[in-house]
Structure 1
């Protein structure tokens, strides 16, 4: 329930926060997961999904602990500033400056130990929204901060490329048909090629690029201005998402129950692990948004348990969606965007439902594209910002928006292979954000907390994975992901 208004915004209950977190994680990545499952095999997919869910939960608790440590630092600095003001006021009438300086030094030496003992764990209450960029500035050195922003920027570029390709691809699939039967959308046995006809002399790729140009012209200009996600837009998008996912799961279950399931997925196929790895990492991404999401939660007493419950629910949902998909449809007929498999007359008889599911990514992704673009533009500005400096109007209003918009549109112009785009984005930039950055954040914030407040100080939001072994394990896994994906790509290119 929404309640008190603070500087972080309107507070909401832990269960509302649980729903918001669920909606944040379950997004576009879920639509590419069924094909990745079918390609890698159901057993290896299930094992990897559970393992990556566990790893994402662990690094989420790392970020929460770093948020507590960052709040403690900010709160401590405010306490010291207030104490210094009180000391200055009380000593303003004294004339001997040397004595006053000595007294002030002695008070500063004693104050931290006494204050920490007096206030205890309340020092680590998460009340200020400290974004990951600010935490990086607090705990990383200059090189670490630059690497953090580089990682965030690469991930956001990948996000925009996925969005820019997904909308035109969905429109092309729904409105074009290689068999000349547009009313039923995607046919069951059609093997589409980008050079196949769409409308008259236009090829499917031509239609895709026309849709991409229209998409860019309509949504691209928002990159040059400031936009904010509204509450009602978020509610509408979440409602559409849940309706679409529910319809797909129910239709797949009904089809399987009636003995019409076509899927015979293999147990394991190692050649499909690369894309599955990236898709799963991308599908559990939430670490970069945790400060905005969890800070307004009114009661954080059982925050770790609620996060764990969220991950269990998300695992169950991903498993249900993917398993109904791979046993309902043949692996070679599953499309990059799972919703498009329901744009078939033999699957869905009602035209309105076919078009709703086929165009579902268009509605939801289009609302997110301007927000992600503005976020990326602002990260570019922060990366090159100099203290006290301002950008010329042309650089601020033209250069930064252009370098934000142009690369992902060019990538989408060259390819609409969504599974590969999601896989590469998740496996590289996603691994950095989900594993590397949280691991270094929690390690350095623990050292900083011990130095600032003493070795006996306990962060009330510390992760259950408090041993340094877990930090090393996460970093080792991140390195293994980088190595495996890179080696797999090199081997694939060598074979070609």
Structure 2
């Protein structure tokens, strides 16, 4: 994520890109959404998720426009460098002074490069992958770049904490839950309940967390990011699990056995639902890797819109079937866990274990990738031009500061709904709203200095009016204030 410009890699069709984006967005957040829906009420949830999906689409088009602007900026920079390299005539001091003054005047008062509208389209072709960190360095000042990396780092810490808690929770529920079909299905276990022998559920959770840390933690010390085939397998497992859960819930509701009676609106659940929805629509930080290899980008905005509509429909289907199928008081943070000990819904032991354990495999393959990405962002944040890190700092200190904080958080709490909500509400707001709005705003100013107002970015966002930039920023500030105030009020009541 912190990397700069990389090659496009193997190209694929727009529709393959649509599938990739769908798989990227629909992840862990979807499993925590049913409980958030039940907590906030089905009417409020439907309205909020639709609105937040729209807002995420707006900022996605902002990032695509900024990517095109970054490509145009790089082409102009290379062309200017080539002109300097091709210039063979020596300059005396007076000529050099005139040239420098002339360049400064042009950059401040008029376009540096005059280009006719008819030949400008190819300047905005997205053919080089420019990651968000590189775009931040290109369009932001030093303070803005540092704030960008801090926001990314906080978000990745939240991601790691969610993953570090989700795997042990799933293992604990499978190991300590009721799978015999002899007891009632609606059982709310406490952390102090017995798991096996003298071991309590919270002790079992911490044992599984320790094993998880020992097995996957060492990957943070190595650049273990090439897991292509594992990603393919886990994606297949994820969609099999989602389809099974939706079908089982629909069958139960169709038989008139649904136990869910969700309220229409419950205001206290809105802040957490907001964080879960923001987290569940997160893709902006990965768009350069996703959009750049698409072979034909003429209709990319339309395809992205179609993707968001499909994702919104999927989230709604998953959540609505869940809240009307299960007793809302017994919905668990990780939706799959509602099937592991509920024999009324599914009495096939293999499928119950499969649904209970599939987050273990899918999340475990992502944990090393996110850990390495976070470690690289730390290195980039503190990097100084021409400087190198000592071996101990590079291979020991940075991996340790990557792993220790999220593991400590996971040891302190396994409340996945809160972890996802807080991560989405704070760091997610920065990545999904504030950074894209700032990128598109400053990239437009940059293009104005280079090309002038006459050149049109062919990948310009449909929401190109400046109003949308300020609306996104004001909405972000309102959301942060609202969530913070609600947390303070909740803590005061407790």
TM-score bucket of the superposed structures, by smaller chain:
over 0.9
Query: In structure 2, what is the equivalent of residue 357 of structure 1?
Result: 355
* CA shift for structure 1 position 118: 6.3
Q: CA RMSD in A?
A: 2.0
* CA shift for structure 1 position 96: 7.5
Cα 1:62–1:187 change in 2 (3 A) is: farther
Listed as ranges, the matches of 1:40-51 within 5 Å are 40-51=40-51
Report if aligned partners of 1:13, 1:297 keep a CA contact under 8 Å in 2: yes
Task: Give the Cα–Cα distance (whole angstroms) in 1 for the partners of residues 101 and 172 of structure 2.
Answer: 73
* CA shift for structure 1 position 7: 2.6
* CA shift for structure 1 position 307: 0.4
What do the CA deviations read for 1:239-297 (whole angstroms, capped 9, x no partner)?
11110000000000000001110000000000111110000000000000000110111
Does residue 5 of structure 2 align to residue 8 of structure 1?
no
Does residue 261 of structure 2 align to residue 236 of structure 1?
no
Query: In structure 1, what is the equivalent of residue 272 of structure 2?
Result: 275
* CA shift for structure 1 position 105: 7.9
Q: Which moved more, 1:28-37 or 1:452-461?
A: 452-461
Query: In structure 1, what is the equivalent of residue 287 of structure 2?
Result: 290
Task: Give the Cα–Cα distance (whole angstroms) in 1 for the partners of residues 257 and 179 of structure 2.
Answer: 24
Task: Give the Cα–Cα distance (whole angstroms) in 1 for the partners of residues 180 and 399 of structure 2.
Answer: 39
What do the CA deviations read for 1:18-72 (whole angstroms, capped 9, x no partner)?
0000000000000000000001000000000000000000000000011011110
Does residue 169 of structure 2 align to residue 130 of structure 1?
no
Task: Give the Cα–Cα distance (whole angstroms) in 2 for the partners of residues 87 and 399 of structure 1.
Answer: 47
Query: In structure 2, what is the equivalent of residue 317 of structure 1?
Result: 314
Report if aligned partners of 1:175, 1:182 keep a CA contact under 8 Å in 2: no
Listed as ranges, the matches of 1:41-440 within 5 Å are 41-88=41-88, 91=89, 97=92, 113-115=113-115, 117=117, 119-177=119-177, 181-183=178-180, 188-343=185-340, 344-440=342-438
* CA shift for structure 1 position 360: 1.1
Q: Which moved more, 1:17-26 or 1:225-234?
A: 225-234
Cα 1:210–1:166 change in 2 (3 A) is: same
Task: Give the Cα–Cα distance (whole angstroms) in 2 for the partners of residues 165 and 229 of structure 1.
Answer: 24
Task: Give the Cα–Cα distance (whole angstroms) in 2 for the partners of residues 375 and 41 of structure 1.
Answer: 36
* CA shift for structure 1 position 189: 2.1
SS of corresponding position for 1:9:
coil
* CA shift for structure 1 position 99: 9.6
SS of corresponding position for 1:260:
coil
Task: Give the Cα–Cα distance (whole angstroms) in 2 for the partners of residues 334 and 185 of structure 1.
Answer: 20
SS of corresponding position for 2:129:
coil
Query: In structure 2, what is the equivalent of residue 3 of structure 1?
Result: none
SS of corresponding position for 1:48:
helix
Cα 1:425–1:112 change in 2 (3 A) is: same
* CA shift for structure 1 position 83: 2.4
* CA shift for structure 1 position 233: 1.9
SS of corresponding position for 1:198:
strand
Q: Count the aligned residue pairs.
A: 483
Task: Give the Cα–Cα distance (whole angstroms) in 2 for the partners of residues 462 and 293 of structure 1.
Answer: 18
Report if aligned partners of 1:116, 1:453 keep a CA contact under 8 Å in 2: no
Report if aligned partners of 1:68, 1:125 keep a CA contact under 8 Å in 2: yes
Report if aligned partners of 1:263, 1:330 keep a CA contact under 8 Å in 2: yes
Q: Structure 2: where are the runs of 5+ without partners?
A: 1-5
Report if aligned partners of 1:173, 1:185 keep a CA contact under 8 Å in 2: no
Does residue 493 of structure 2 align to residue 495 of structure 1?
yes
* CA shift for structure 1 position 330: 1.1
Task: Give the Cα–Cα distance (whole angstroms) in 1 for the partners of residues 182 and 395 of structure 2.
Answer: 41
Task: Give the Cα–Cα distance (whole angstroms) in 2 for the partners of residues 7 and 407 of structure 1.
Answer: 33
- Kindly report structure 1 stretches of 4+ aligned residues shifted beyond 6 Å: 102-111
Report if aligned partners of 1:223, 1:401 keep a CA contact under 8 Å in 2: yes
Question: With structure 1 as the length reference, what TM-score do the two structures score?
Answer: 0.94
Question: With structure 2 as the length reference, what TM-score do the two structures score?
Answer: 0.94
